[in-house]
C-alpha cells in the first residue's frame, strides 16, 4: 500500500475530504491558517459498506501551534510519539493513560500536558483542542473509527475556549 502524505491548512482537513484519486473538495468559508501534517498510514472500511472508515494516521503539529476547538464524528485514540501536547477538554470527557500506566478521566474545562508514551481516548462528539506550546514538533499516532460521510474534524464555536 502506498502512503499518502498531505500538508493542508487545518480548515481543509476539517471541512474538505480526500477522495481516492487525491482530489480535495474545497473547504468551508470558515478558514483557519495553522497547518498540520496528516499522514495516512493505513485505512479501510470495516463494515464493508463504506459507512465507517478506520484510519491509522500520523499527525505532526508544528511548534507554537494552537488548534481550533473541534469535535470528531466518531472515536479517536491517540498516542504521543514525540514532544508535549497541551490538551484541553471543552465539553465532555477523555480517558488519559500516562506512560507509567496510570489512568485518569479528563473532564470539561480541564487541561493536561501529554508527553511521550501518553495516550488518550476521545469519544465522538467530545469538544476539545490541542496546542503545541513548545519549540519542537509534536508527533501523534492516531487510530480513528469515523462516520465516513462526515468531515474528520468539525470546528466548533471558537468562543467556547
DSSP state, 73?
S
Superfamily for the 4-160 domain: Jelly Rolls (2.60.120.10)
C-alpha 8/C-alpha 52 separation (Å) is 23
The domain limits of the chain are 4-160
Residues 6+ apart with CB under 8 A from 35: 7, 8, 9, 10, 62, 65
| pTM for the whole structure | 0.77
Distances (CA, A) of 5 to 52, 92, 102, 154: 21, 31, 34, 21
pLDDT in tens, the chain (161 residues): 444 433 333 433 433 333 333 333 444 433 344 578 999 999 999 877 889 999 999 999 999 999 999 999 999 999 999 999 999 999 999 999 999 999 999 999 999 999 999 999 999 999 999 999 999 999 999 999 999 999 999 998 755 44
H/E stretch holding 15: helix 10-15
Q: What is the pLDDT at residue 158?
A: 52
List, for residues 14-61, the tens digit of each pLDDT value. 333 333 333 334 444 333 445 789 999 999 998 778 899 999 999 999
Closest listed residue to residue 36, CA positions, set 3, 17, 20, 14: 14
Amino acid at each position: 500500500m502506498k502512503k499518502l502524505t498531505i500538508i493542508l491548512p487545518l480548515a481543509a482537513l476539517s471541512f474538505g475530504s480526500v477522495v481516492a484519486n487525491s482530489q480535495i473538495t474545497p473547504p468551508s468559508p470558515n478558514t483557519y491558517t495553522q497547518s498540520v501534517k496528516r499522514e495516512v498510514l493505513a485505512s479501510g472500511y470495516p463494515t464493508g459498506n463504506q459507512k465507517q472508515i478506520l484510519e491509522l494516521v500520523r499527525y505532526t503539529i508544528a511548534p507554537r501551534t494552537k488548534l481550533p476547538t473541534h469535535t470528531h464524528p466518531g472515536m479517536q485514540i491517540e498516542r504521543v510519539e514525540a514532544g508535549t501536547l497541551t490538551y484541553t477538554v471543552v465539553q465532555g470527557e477523555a480517558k488519559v493513560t500516562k506512560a507509567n500506566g496510570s489512568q485518569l478521566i479528563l473532564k470539561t474545562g480541564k487541561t493536561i500536558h501529554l508527553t511521550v508514551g501518553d495516550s488518550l481516548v476521545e469519544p465522538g462528539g467530545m469538544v476539545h483542542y490541542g496546542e503545541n506550546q513548545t519549540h519542537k514538533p509534536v508527533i501523534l499516532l492516531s487510530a480513528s473509527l469515523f462516520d465516513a460521510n462526515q468531515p474528520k474534524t468539525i470546528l466548533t464555536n471558537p468562543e467556547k475556549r
